[in-house]
Amino acid sequence: MNPLPVLVLLPVTGGGLAWLAARIRPHSARPSARDASWWTVLATLIGETLVLAMVTFHHTDHAGPWLEHFAAPWIPVMGIAFRLDIDGLSLSMIWLSLVLCFLCAFLAPRQDTTGAGTFHFLFLATLTGIIGTFLATDLFLFFFFWELMLVPMFVLIATWGHEDRQRAAMKFFMFTQGSGLVMLLSILGLVMTHYRATGVLTFDYFTLSRTPLSPALSMLLMLGFFIAFAVKLPVVPVHVWLPDAHTQAPTAASVLLAGIMLKTGGYGMIRFDVMLFPDAASRFAPVAMALGVVGILYGAWMSCMQDDVKRLIAYGSISHMGFVLSGIFGGSAMGMQGAIVQMLAHGLGTGALFLIAGAIQDRMHTRDMRRIGGLWAVMPRLSGTGLFFAVASLGMPGLGNFVGEFLVLLAIWHASPIIATLAATGLILAAIYALRMVNRIFLAAPRADLRPVRDFPARQMAVFACVMAFMIVLGLYPQPFMTFSTPAPLSVTAMPRPEGSAP
Amino acid sequence: MAATFCGGRNMGEILLPLLVLCPLAASLIAFACAGRVGAGGIGAIACAGVGISAVLGVVVSAILLRGPATGALQVMLWPWMRVAGFSADIAFMLDRISMLMILVVTIVGLLIHVYAAGYMRDDPGIARFFGCMTLFVAAMLVLVLSPDLLCLFGGGGGVGLCSYLLIGFWYDDPANTAAARKAFYMTRMGDVALLCAMLLLAGATGSLRIGTVLAAVANGQVSPTGVNMAAFFILVGALAKSAQIPFQAWLPDAMAGPTPTSALIHAATMVTAGVYLIARLHGLFAMAVPVMALMAVLGALTLLMGACVALAQSDLKRILAWSTISQLGYMFLALGCGAWQAALFHLMTHAFFKALLFLSAGAVIMRARHEQDIFRLGGLRHAMPGLTAAFVTGASALAGLPLVTAGFYSKEMILSGVWRAHFDLTHGWGAGGHPLWGIGLLGAFLTALYIFRCIFIVFCGKADTVATGRTSRLMSIPLGCLCVLSVCGGMIEMPAPLPRPHLFSAFIDPASLLPHVDEPFWPVLAGAAAPLAGVWAAWVVWGRSASVMRDMPGRPMRLLAWLAQHAIPGRAIMGTGRMTQATSTLIFRARTGFLDMLGVWAGRSAGWAGRLLERLHDGRMRRYAAWIAGGLCAGLALAVLS
C-alpha cells in the first residue's frame, strides 16, 4: 500500500471519527479536555507519525531525491490526476506540521469546551489540507488542497476566536481566497500554453515544467503564483490579514497558522516559483529580495510598538518571513537552505511563543502587556520558557534562527552588500521587540493585584524541553536537516522508472 | 619525549571541550535546581563548575607549554554548516593568546564566584544568579577558545545575553531592566557590525576560520578596500563590546547589577572581548593602517574622557566603571599602535586589580548599609582596615605606582609601545606616536588623581559612617588572592629599556623580543613619575583639606560627564523608539483609512452590481428566453467561426 494517500486522508478521517466520538458521548459528567474526541485526535496523530516514519526510514529501491510517488487518475478527460510525490523538503515540512500538532494537542487549552468534536474535526481537516499542499504535484490538486486548508481555518477563527474574531476571519479569508484565484488563473494559463504548444492537456507538475515559455509570459505566470504565496507568507504589502488573524485565532489555530500555514507560502515559492520558472524568478529576484528586506524591517519595527503579546509575536513572524523570502530568491543553494532552516526554526519558536501567550491569556485573561506585569516571581517555569523562545526569536547564535538568518544574509551579501547590511540591522530591531516583551511580561516588577496562578506542570515542561532541545540541535548541528531537506531537482528521476531498468 | 607530548596532546583535546562543559553543566544544574537546593548548595555547585574549569585550564596550559611556541591544540567537534561556498565547524583551539585568556577568565572568575557565594547568600534569586554567572563564564570560554569567527560571534552572543540577565537581575526596579536592555542593544549594534565584517570576509574567502582568513588577507585575496572595511566593522564591534567612544554609555549603567556581576563583566569577561578580538586578528589590522590610526585616536580620547568623568563622579561604583572605560582606552591605544602584546598584558593585570577594586568596593558598600555616595562615606579605615588595605592595593595598581604594583609594568609596556609607534597613513606622510604618548601620560596622572581622590574621601578623614557586620571568610579569601596578584602579577615583564625578565613577551610572542637599545630612558621615568604626581595632587586637594575642596572638580567636568553618559547610540535608540511610535501610528491610520475606503467602495460597487444582476432575473419569462437564445447564438457563432 502506498503511504502517500494515507498520509493525506488519515487526518481528515480521524477528524471525522473525533467528531463522531464527541457526538456519541457528549459531555460526560465532568467536562475535561481529555475526552474521547481528544483521544481520537491523539491516535490519529500517532498513526500519522508512524506512516511518516515509515516513509522517512523506508528506503525505496530506486535511488533519487524523490522518496515516494503515487498517482491515480482523477478527471482523465482534463488531464487531472491525483498525483502525490514526496521529497526531503515536503518531508521535513510535514514533520514540522506533525510536531506542532502534537504540541497543540498536548498544550493548547481550548478556550471553550463546547463543540470539542467539531473543533477537532476542523483542526484535522486543516492538517489534511496542509499535508496535501506539501505533497501534491498535480497543479489542480495543489490548488484544491490550497483552498481546502483555508475553509476549516476560517471557521476555527470565526467560531473559537477572541473578541474581534469575525472581522479577522473575514479578512483572512478574503486575502487568501482572492490571491488563490490569481494562482488559479496562472495555473490555467500555464496549462493552456502547454496544450497549445504540445497538444497534451495535463496539470502534471513535471510535464508542465518543460513547457516552452516566452520571457514575458513566464514572468506573468510566475507573478500569479507569487502573489498567492506572498499573501500566505506574508510579504509586506499584502500582510494585512496576518496580525489580526494571528491575534484573534484560538491558541491552537494561531500555532497552526504561524507554525505551518505560513510555511506553505515559502514551500510554494520554492517549488512553484523558483523551480518552475527559474529564469523569471532570477529576473524577479532583486524585487523579491528588496520586498524581503522591507518585510524584515517593517515587521520588526511594528513589532516594537505592540502592546498585545500575540500581535507582537505576529509582527515578529512577518520579520522572520522576510528572511525566508530573501533567502529563497537569493539565487543560491545557500540562501535556499538558510530559508528552509529559518522556516523550521520559526515554526517551532513561534509556535511555542503562541502557546505561551495562550497559556498567559488563560491565566491572566488578558493579552495586554501593560496589564500582565512580572510573571517570573509566580511562574518561573513559564517565564523561563518564554525567555528562551524570545531569545531564540531575536537570533541568538546557537539556536535555530541564527543559522537560517546567517545563511540567508550570506547569500544576499553575494547579491548586494547594501541589502544584506539593511537586513542585518533588522537584528537590532529584533532584539528590541524581543527584550521589550521579556521585560514587560516576564522579568518585570510583579503587579500588586496578581492573583495566584498555576505554573506549567512538569508534564508540559517536558514537552517544552523537547522543543527547546530541538531548537538547540537545529542551532548547533543543522547539517543533517540541511542535507535532508534539500528540495529535489526537477529531473526525470521524478518519473517512475520503467520496470527492469534498475541495476 | 615526542610520544609523551603526543599523549599530552590527545589528553588536551579531550580536556578542552570539558573546560567549557563544566561551567555549562553547573549552569544547567543551577537553573534546574532553582528552589530545591539551598543557597550554599547552589554556590558550591557554581564554584565547583568554574573551579574544575580553572584546574583544567592550568592542565591544558601545561600541555600547551610543553609544545613549541607557535603550536596550538586543535579540537574539531562537529561540522556546523556546510553549504556550497561556505563552511564552518564547531571547534576549539588553544594557542598562547587564548591560553592567557582562559587562565584569566577561569581563575579570576573562580575568585569572583567564591566571593559571590558569600555576597549573594541571602538573595532569593540565587539560583538564577549563579545559573547566569556560570553560563557567562562558559560563553566567554567559547569566545576565547574558538578558532572560527562564527563560533566567536556565538560566544559573544551568549556573553551579551548573560550580561543582560545579570544587569537586570533585580528586575523589580524598571531602571535596572532599562539599563540591561541598553547594554544589550549597544552591544548588539556592535554585533551587527561584526556580522557585516564576517559576511564580507566569508564572501571573499568562503570560510571564517581565523587562520584561513588571515592567510587570505596576507595573500591579497581580499581587496585593500575590503580589508579596510572589514577591519573597520570589526573595530566597531569591538568598540561596542568594550564600551569605547561612542558606545561608552552602557557600562556605567551596567552597575545596576549585583557587585560580583560588575566585577565579572568589567574585569574578567565581557569588556575584554573586544580587546581580545582585535589582538587575535592583529594580522588583519596590520594591513589596515587608517583603521589602526582611528583605533589609537579613539582609545586615547576614551582614556582621557573616562578619567575626566571618573573625576566628577560621586558614586563609588560609577567611579570604578568609568575607570574601566579609561583603562580599556589604554588597551585600544596599544592595539591601535600595534602593541597588541602590551594590550593583552594590561588586560591581564587589569583583570586582577579591577576585580579586586570591585569586590572590595562591594564589601565596603555592603557593610556601610548600601551607601554608594563617596561623600556620605568617610573615615572607613578605622572600621574596616582589611578592606581598606585591599582597596588601596587595587587603587595603587590601577594608578600604576612604580615598581610595587602590577599596573605599573603593563602601563609602562603600553606607553613604550605607543612611543615607538608610527602610522604610515599615505605614501610619505605619516604620524608618530609621541602626541598619543603624551595623552597616555596625562591619563596616568589623572588615573592616580581620581582613584586617590576616592580613597582620601572614603577611607581617610573623620569617621562619620557606621559600619556593620564583618566580611565573611568566603569574601575575604578571594580579596587576599587578588591582592597578591595585583602586586606581583606584573613583575614578570620589566619595562623595555631595562634588562630581564621579559617573560610575558617571551611567552606571548617570542618574535617581538628584539632589543630596543636605542630608546631613551627618560620616558620610563616620566611614566613612573606621573602617577606619583597624581597621588600627591590628590593628597593636596582632598587629603589635607577634605571639607573645603569637596566640590572639586566643578561644572566643566559635570558637563563632560553628562555628555558622556548620553552618547550618540543611546540617543539613537531613544530616537528610534519615539520614531517607531510615530511612524507606526501614522501607518496604522493610513492603513485603516485606506481599508475603510476600500470597504466602503467595495460595498457600494457590490450594491450596484447587485442591482444590475437584479435586473437580469426580474421574473419575466420572455426576457429569460431572449437571454438563452442570445447566448446560444453567440456560442454557436464562436464555435463555427473559430
Distance from CA of B148 to the nearest CA of A (A): 13
Q: SS3 for A70?
A: strand
The pLDDT tens digits of the residues spanning A263-316 come to: 999 999 998 888 888 889 989 999 999 999 999 999 998 888 888 999 999 999
Give B-chain residues touching A334 at CB under 8 angstroms. 83-86
pLDDT score, position B424: 75
B614 alpha carbon, distance to own chain's centre: 74
Percent of chain A with pLDDT over 90: 37
C-alpha cell at B45: 555547585
A328 alpha carbon, distance to own chain's centre: 15
C-alpha cell at A286: 532583486
Report the C-alpha gap between A148 and B594 in whole angstroms.
30
Residue of A407, A444, A446 lying closest to B83 (CB–CB):
A407
CB-neighbour burial class of residue B187 (10 A; exposed 0-12, middle 13-18, buried 19+):
buried
Distance from CA of A397 to the nearest CA of B (A): 5
Most confident of A38-47, A163-172, B276-285, B401-410: B276-285
Q: Is the pLDDT score of A503 beyond 50? A: no
pLDDT score, position B404: 83
Q: SS3 for A488?
A: coil
What would the DSSP string read from start to end of A135-199?
HB-BHHHHHHHHHHTHHHHHHHHHHH--TTHHHHHHHHHHHHHHHHHHHHHHHHHHHHHHHHHHS
- Are B294 and B347 within 8 A, CB to CB? no
pLDDT score, position B420: 83
Distance from CA of B131 to the nearest CA of A (A): 12
pLDDT score, position B500: 64
Instruction: State whether A479 and B177 contact (CB < 8 Å).
Output: no
Searching chain A, which residue's CA lies closest to the CA of residue B149? A397
The pLDDT tens digits of the residues spanning A405-433 come to: 999 999 999 888 899 999 999 999 999 99
pLDDT score, position B563: 65
- Is residue B430 within a helix (H) or strand (E), and if so which, with residue range? strand B429-432
Give A-chain residues touching B83 at CB under 8 angstroms. 333-334, 337, 407, 482
pLDDT score, position B554: 55
Distance from CA of B91 to the nearest CA of A (A): 11
Distance from CA of A483 to the nearest CA of B (A): 9
Report the C-alpha gap between A242 and A297 in whole angstroms.
16
Instruction: State whether A417 and B200 contact (CB < 8 Å).
Output: yes
Instruction: State whether A301 and B195 contact (CB < 8 Å).
Output: no
Q: Is the pLDDT score of A23 beyond 80? A: no
Distance from CA of A427 to the nearest CA of B (A): 7
pLDDT score, position B513: 60
Per-residue exposure over A154-168, b if at least 16 CB sit within 10 Å of its own CB, e if not: bbbbbbbbbeebeeb
Residue of A240, A421, A478 lying closest to B196 (CB–CB):
A421
Give B-chain residues touching A417 at CB under 8 angstroms. 199-200, 203
pTM > 0.80: yes
Give B-chain residues touching A432 at CB under 8 angstroms. 181, 185, 573, 576-577
**Torsional sign, CA B554, B557, B559, B561:** negative
Instruction: State whether B161 and A391 contact (CB < 8 Å).
Output: yes
- Is residue A68 within a helix (H) or strand (E), and if so which, with residue range? strand A66-75
C-alpha cell at B199: 559576511
The pLDDT tens digits of the residues spanning A345-366 come to: 999 999 999 999 988 888 888 8
- Are A193 and A217 within 8 A, CB to CB? yes
Residue of A435, A445, A478 lying closest to B184 (CB–CB):
A435
B464 alpha carbon, distance to own chain's centre: 37
- 3-state SS record for B62-123: HHHHHCCCCCCEEEEEEEEEEECCEEEEEEEEECHHHHHHHHHHHHHHHHHHHHHHHHCCCC
Residue B574 CA: distances (Å) to CA of A309, B251, B581: 22, 17, 11
Measured in degrees and rounded to the nearest 5, phi and psi for residue A32 equal -130, 165
Report the C-alpha gap between B595 and B582 in whole angstroms.
20
| Cα radius of gyration (chain A) | 22
A/B interface, count of CB pairs below 8 Å: 128
Give B-chain residues touching A384 at CB under 8 angstroms. 31
Searching chain B, which residue's CA lies closest to the CA of residue A439? B177
- Are A266 and A337 within 8 A, CB to CB? no
Q: SS3 for A240?
A: coil
Give B-chain residues touching A397 at CB under 8 angstroms. 150, 153-154, 156-158
Q: SS3 for B557?
A: helix
- Please identify every stretch of chain B with a pLDDT value under 70, giving residue numbers as ranges: 1-9, 267-268, 426-428, 430, 464-465, 496-501, 510-518, 545-578, 580-581, 584, 588, 591, 595-596, 599, 616-617, 642
Searching chain A, which residue's CA lies closest to the CA of residue B574? A432
Residue-averaged pLDDT of chain A: 86
Instruction: State whether A476 and B80 contact (CB < 8 Å).
Output: yes
Residue of A301, A432, A478 lying closest to B584 (CB–CB):
A301
